[in-house]
Amino acid sequence: MDYKENIIPHDHQIKLKDRIQKYGFEPKLLWFTGLSGSGKSTLAGAFETWLFNEGYHTYILDGDNVRSGLNSDLDFSDVSRKENIRRIAEVAKLFLDSGVVVLTAFISPFKEDRQQARELVGVANFIEVFVDTPLEICEQRDVKGLYAKARAGKIPNFTGIDSPFEAPDTPDVHIETAGKTVEQSLNELINQIKTKLK
Amino acid sequence: MDYKENIIPHDHQIKLKDRIQKYGFEPKLLWFTGLSGSGKSTLAGAFETWLFNEGYHTYILDGDNVRSGLNSDLDFSDVSRKENIRRIAEVAKLFLDSGVVVLTAFISPFKEDRQQARELVGVANFIEVFVDTPLEICEQRDVKGLYAKARAGKIPNFTGIDSPFEAPDTPDVHIETAGKTVEQSLNELINQIKTKLK
């Protein structure tokens, strides 16, 4: 038998609309996508600080807090990468329902997975932020030394090296970081995104 | 090679201490445990309303929003039940880190799993709330008709019927609901718990 038919919703007394009314803003998911080293986490962190100071309740989901905990059972195979993105989107959906603006910073190289995340949380809640930094620059920076390892064959299926990055065709927000300071990129992000947040 | 060595933490600029300072309370996980029909979700919902009106940021994780989304790939086998609880605790940990008071309402019948959840989120953050309603009463209520199905053999491994409920020996909060209104149970809960929340 299908167990799911036995899950009967309770009528929670505090609804999302109550939270929106009390907190004074509408929760959205800002989905940062880009190569390793593109500046996703840096930019998401800087933008979160801005949002927090503006009075939004915010949270960042990224490899640091998700891969080490909830998704620690997943490896980097194609199946696990897909499950990784699914769970991130599901967790983001819970945060949105709690009234929090969520920022996710994952390479998320595949269009299909990003589309799945968009549909899962609801198209109107999803803002795709493409942090567009050329591979050459990411590889030059190589903050974590990962590109060197990938080039040496020590990390298989590394995005940009031996696994593709499918850039968004029509991202909601598009930030080219090359030649810009973090502050400049942040200002551009704020300008592009602020009309999408209430 | 172990990929995890390649996950290098970013220095997020907004920390939990910043959220605590701004929001004015410390996040805790209130883990409601008890039989199906014991009143966990009802009591958690009523308590959330109280907390919300007191100015806390809150969220409830329960079967309605977790089983239908994040954990929709899990069945009710022993392995999946364990994984179900692990993921709930991991998600609760993320919510705590975001500064939110989390209430979970799951039968969570096994001591070992509850202990694992307690350790995972940090002992000081975990408040076990035992919603103690005798099986006979839960079965009489049978709000969802699940006990009737379980007695008819249509739901195997149903807690209290053919799967054990391991009651907490020393719960942080202990509410016996028999013969009480929801309001009476709620008042008792508030009295027992309010010194544990800041």
Q: pLDDT tens, A74-101?
A: 987 888 888 999 999 999 999 999 999 9
Indicate which residues of B carry an active-site annotation: 108
Grouping H, G, I as helix, E, B as strand and the rest as coil, residue A49 is helix
The type of residue at B144 is K
Answer whether A82 touches B (CB < 8 Å).
no
Cα separation, B46 vs A13, in Å, equals 7
pLDDT at B11: 55
Q: What is residue B5's predicted lDDT score, i.e. its pLDDT?
A: 45
Q: Which of residues 15-34 of A touch B (CB under 8 A)?
A: 18, 22
**Dihedral pair phi/psi, residue B175, rounded to 5°:** -115, 115
Q: Could you list the pLDDT tens digit for every one of the 198 residues in chain A?
A: 333 444 444 555 899 999 999 999 999 999 999 999 999 999 999 999 999 999 999 999 998 899 889 999 998 788 888 899 999 999 999 999 999 999 999 999 999 999 999 999 999 999 999 999 999 999 999 988 999 999 999 998 899 999 999 999 999 999 999 999 999 999 999 999 988 888
Query: Percent of chain B scored above 70 by pLDDT?
Result: 94
Structural domains of chain A sorted by starting position, each given as residue range(s) with its CATH number in brackets: 16-187 (3.40.50.300)
C-alpha closest to that of A167 among A42, A37, A34: A34
A91/B94 touch (CB, cutoff 8 Å), yes or no: yes
Residue B3 forms contact with A (CB below 8 Å): yes
For chains A and B, CB pairs below 8 A equal 125
Name the minimum distance, in Å, from the CA of B9 to any CA of chain A. Answer: 5
Please tell me if residue B94 touches chain A, with a CB cutoff of 8 Å.
Answer: yes
B97 close to A (CB below 8 A):
yes
Q: A152 in contact with B at a CB cutoff of 8 Å?
A: no
Query: Model confidence over B97-134: pLDDT tens digits?
Result: 999 999 999 999 999 999 999 999 999 999 999 999 99
The minimum CA-CA distance between A192 and chain B, rounded to whole Å, is 22
Query: Quick one: pLDDT at residue A32?
Result: 98
Which residues of chain B form beta strands (DSSP E)? 29-33, 58-62, 101-105, 126-132, 173-176
Confidence tier at B3 by pLDDT (50, 70, 90)? very low
User: Residue A156 has what pLDDT?
Assistant: 87
CB nearest A10 (choices: B14, B22, B62): B62
pLDDT at B94 over 50: yes
Nearest to A45 among B12, B90, B95 (CB): B12
B142: left (phi over 0), alpha (psi -120 to 50) or beta: left
**Above pLDDT 90, what percent of chain B?**
82
E-assigned strands of A92-180?
A: 101-105, 126-132, 173-176
Q: In whole numbers, what is the pLDDT of chain B averaged over residues?
A: 91
> CA of B72, closest CA in chain A: separation in Å?
9
Minimal CA separation from B59 to chain A, in Å = 6
Identify the pLDDT of residue B81: 86
Please report the pLDDT score of residue A10 as a whole number. 52
Which of B190, B156, B162, B163 lies closest to B175, judged by CA? B190
Residue A1 has what pLDDT?
A: 32
Tell me the mean pLDDT in the region B137-142: 94
pLDDT of residue B13: 82
Q: What is the pLDDT of residue B2?
A: 38
Nearest CB among B52, B91, B144 relative to A70 is that of B91
Chain B residue numbers with beta carbons less than 8 Å from the beta carbon of A36 are: none
pTM of the model: 0.92
